[in-house]
Amino acid sequence: MESKREEIAKKLDKFAFNVKNIDRVIAFMVALFIVFAFVVYTRKKTDYEQRQAAYSRMLAELEEHQLNVIYANVSPNDGDSSGTYVKEKSMFENGIDAAAYAFEQLRSSKCYETEGYGFVQAEALGQHVEVEMNFKSAQYEDGTQFDENIRKETKTNFGQTEAIQLVFKNGVKYKRTGSNIRSENGAWVADFSGSFSPTGSSVTKKPVIEVRKDTIQFCKDFTFTRTSTGKIAYYKTTVLVDRVKSVVDYAKNIQEEGGTSLPQFSFIQVSCIIDGTGHLLSYTTIETMSLTKTIVVEVNTTMTTETTVFVKSYDQTPSIPYPQV
């Protein structure tokens, strides 16, 4: 009888021990879930704040440069407005349609002019490398394209300071380099002289990140803002694009101009400001890539590049003089 009591007591003790362990496991899992949820929330919050900062910066700079007139009587309510007037219907159902349409309007223009700036951050041989950029481009009525890019390496000396002008005409890529890179009015400028030389490149048109319906993978957000009369003033959207299909010529050009391996992209995000008629006003691109560059020795690096582009004109003769090649 006594042995049965001892046996029952042992089983009860074992059961209590197991219950305690289960409680501990459950408590651990709950704590782990809370930590995971907090990390995800923090990342989402940071990503959201980053996008909002890009939108705000683009809108402020568009206003400063007077590149559009979307600011008159704007009521920033992200698509909702009250009053007796008739609300203008959105042109787009979602951000994918909006971004694809806006970039198509730019591509299909007979001529256009853009300008912008950006920066690159990378690690090379244990050093943090920073490069600032200013650039401008144009397309002329005959299809000729012009592209100027001035880069200034600010803290190190890995040969990333350069000034180049490219011209794409009749399927041929031409190039010339600049000198005397300097800062004027907060932007990097350079002197260019001499003639353009053909490069023999397989890239036959201005290389860009292609934002199209077949390259857009995901839309992060899509909103629009009305004027006080109910008309849509502008749309805002951020999309992620395919890391291979969207950068075929873009990656080739980086390889040719940077003396690197073909870059491998791991992240490409495009945030857009689009006017009420569907025309692209400004866009910010964030891209992360890895590549190998030869600087005496081969250097493997991961680079993050952020650029902001403003569309100065559509279907108007560019202010940039037509390049003679």
Q: What is the pTM of this model?
A: 0.80
Residues 83 and 126 both lie in one domain: yes
- The answer to the question of residue 177 being in a domain is no
Q: How far apart are CA 193 and CA 232, in angstroms?
A: 45
Residues 309 and 214 both lie in one domain: yes
Question: What total number of domains does the chain contain?
Answer: 2
Digitized pLDDT (tens) for each residue of the chain, 325 residues in all: 556 556 655 554 554 555 455 555 455 554 444 444 444 444 555 788 878 888 888 888 777 655 444 443 344 444 444 555 678 889 999 999 999 999 999 999 999 999 999 999 988 778 888 999 999 999 999 999 999 999 999 988 878 899 999 999 999 999 999 999 999 999 999 999 999 999 999 999 999 999 999 999 999 999 999 888 888 999 999 999 999 999 999 999 999 887 788 999 999 999 999 999 999 999 999 999 998 877 667 788 899 999 999 999 999 999 999 999 9
Q: How far apart are CA 301 and CA 303, in angstroms?
A: 6
Residues 100 and 21 both lie in one domain: no
Residues 99 and 53 both lie in one domain: no
- The answer to the question of residue 26 being in a domain is yes
Cα 188 to Cα 118, 138, 150, 191, 322: the distances in Å are: 11, 18, 6, 11, 21
Structural domain boundaries, residue 247: 69-140+205-314
Closest of 91, 68, 48 to residue 220, by C-alpha: 48
- Give the CB-side neighbour count of residue 196, counting CA atoms within 13 A: 20
Q: How far apart are CA 91 and CA 279, in angstroms?
A: 11
Residues 55 and 81 both lie in one domain: no
